[in-house]
């Protein structure tokens, strides 16, 4: 008997979800708990597992559609139907061999991309879950093929274009479809700029005091920054607040959001009660949340409830940034790349690992003096040398 696949409830406040990608083709075989569909909401993107083993007999909602929670989006023919041909909804569904027994199954988006570029998917090595071929794999294969075979896909000779004109037969522009996540990010960033009175202050911190602890325990810089921020919040609690028409709401719990860059956008998983955790636990949680954000395995509640955000733009070499506040928070800290630079210490020039810190804050809630007081605390805590007691 067919099993209804419904749009799941992906959080208490989430009423709908967008189907990003079907990970199993119609008629394709699927195992219990195997990723079946990639779903995106305004808070998180994740893969939804199959509730049972069987065959995807009907796909009722296509990629790109946004549907309410509880909507039937597909039907699964249970494993009991193996070995026979079923007729469901007027469509004949035949058992499909598993990977290794026949042709591998790819998402519609991957098949379409392969068709456009004339790619034989059996030649592409997949880097996705369970070795699945992703769109990135196909594009990298195309680029590699062009590099190894200059004649492959080479355009035929054409006259030189006139000024302001594209090459004959080649479009001068390309339109990249905007994903649901990109639309959400755009809407939120614009709304934040229209809502909060953004002001940015910059500080520079010497990271040499934490170098020994970081190296001996194989930690990144981020856990130290999280620790310094949470301690500074106890000194200046208004930074852990939000604005409302009724007044400024001070949060008693400190939940730190850490921005994670994805190919298609940005997610901000949250470290709950970050002020109560040591450096090693913070390091493990940061790494775990970032990895699961990139592989779309975050739970909806793990991207909710943040009271302050840290964005480590220095991971890509950036020195300065003026990040946009993540509403309804009142501030966000940007952490630049740590670089060795000459600095003056006690009237002498020394080489120190330095980084720039930027605080974007809501001027409706705090003034520059308060922001600088908070940043002075963060700087002081980062520059301390007694870090072993915070492990």
Determine which one of 4, 33, 130, 363 is catalytic: 363
Residues 374 and 238: their CA atoms lie apart, in Å, by: 9
How do the residues of the chain divide into helix, strand and coil, expressed in percent and rounded to 5? 30, 30, 40
Residues 311 and 332: their CA atoms lie apart, in Å, by: 7
Residues 378 and 372: their CA atoms lie apart, in Å, by: 10
Residue 99's DSSP bridge partners are: 102
Q: Is 275 among the residues known to form the active site?
A: no
CB 114 within 8 Å of CB 106: yes
Q: Is 106 among the residues known to form the active site?
A: no
**How many alpha carbons lie under 13 Å from residue 99 in its C-beta half-sphere?**
13
Residues 25 and 42: their CA atoms lie apart, in Å, by: 26
Cβ partners under 8 Å of residue 215, min gap 6: none
Determine which one of 117, 347, 367, 386 is catalytic: 367
User: Which residues are catalytically annotated?
Assistant: 363, 367
């Amino acid at each position: 008997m067919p099993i209804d696949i419904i749009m799941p409830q992906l959080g208490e406040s989430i009423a709908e979800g967008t189907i990003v990608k079907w990970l199993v083709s119609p008629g394709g075989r699927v195992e219990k708990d195997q990723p079946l569909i990639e779903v995106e909401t305004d808070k998180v993107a994740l893969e939804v597992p199959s509730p049972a083993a069987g065959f995807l007999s009907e796909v009722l909602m296509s990629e790109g559609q946004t549907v309410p929670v509880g909507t039937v989006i597909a039907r699964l023919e249970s494993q009991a139907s193996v070995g026979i041909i079923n007729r469901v909804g007027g469509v004949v569904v035949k058992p499909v061999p598993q990977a290794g027994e026949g042709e591998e199954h790819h998402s519609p988006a991957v098949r379409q991309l392969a068709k456009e570029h004339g790619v034989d998917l059996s030649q592409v090595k997949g880097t996705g879950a369970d070795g699945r071929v992703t769109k990135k794999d196909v594009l990298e294969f195309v680029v590699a093929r062009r590099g190894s075979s200059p004649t492959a896909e080479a355009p035929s000779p054409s006259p030189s274009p006139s000024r302001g004109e594209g090459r004959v037969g080649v479009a001068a522009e390309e339109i990249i479809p905007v994903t649901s996540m990109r639309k959400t990010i755009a809407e939120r960033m614009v709304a934040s700029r229209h809502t909060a009175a953004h002001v940015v202050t910059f500080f520079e911190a010497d990271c040499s005091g934490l170098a020994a602890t970081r190296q001996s325990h194989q930690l990144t810089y981020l856990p130290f920054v999280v620790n310094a921020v949470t301690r500074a919040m106890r000194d200046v609690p208004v930074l852990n607040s939000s604005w409302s028409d009724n007044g400024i709401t001070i949060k008693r719990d400190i939940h730190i959001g850490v921005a994670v860059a994805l190919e298609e956008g940005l997610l901000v998983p949250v470290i709950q009660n970050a002020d109560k955790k040591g450096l090693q636990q913070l390091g493990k949680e940061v790494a775990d949340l970032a990895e699961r954000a990139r592989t779309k395995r975050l739970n909806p509640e793990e991207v909710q409830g943040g009271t302050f955000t840290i964005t480590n733009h220095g991971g890509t070499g950036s020195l300065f940034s003026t990040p946009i506040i993540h509403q309804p928070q009142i501030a966000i800290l940007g952490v630049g790349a740590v670089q060795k630079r000459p600095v003056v210490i006690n009237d002498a020039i020394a080489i120190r690992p330095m980084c720039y810190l930027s605080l974007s804050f809501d001027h409706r809630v705090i003034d520059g003096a308060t922001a600088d007081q908070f940043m002075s605390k963060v700087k002081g805590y980062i520059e301390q040398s007694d870090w072993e007691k915070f492990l």
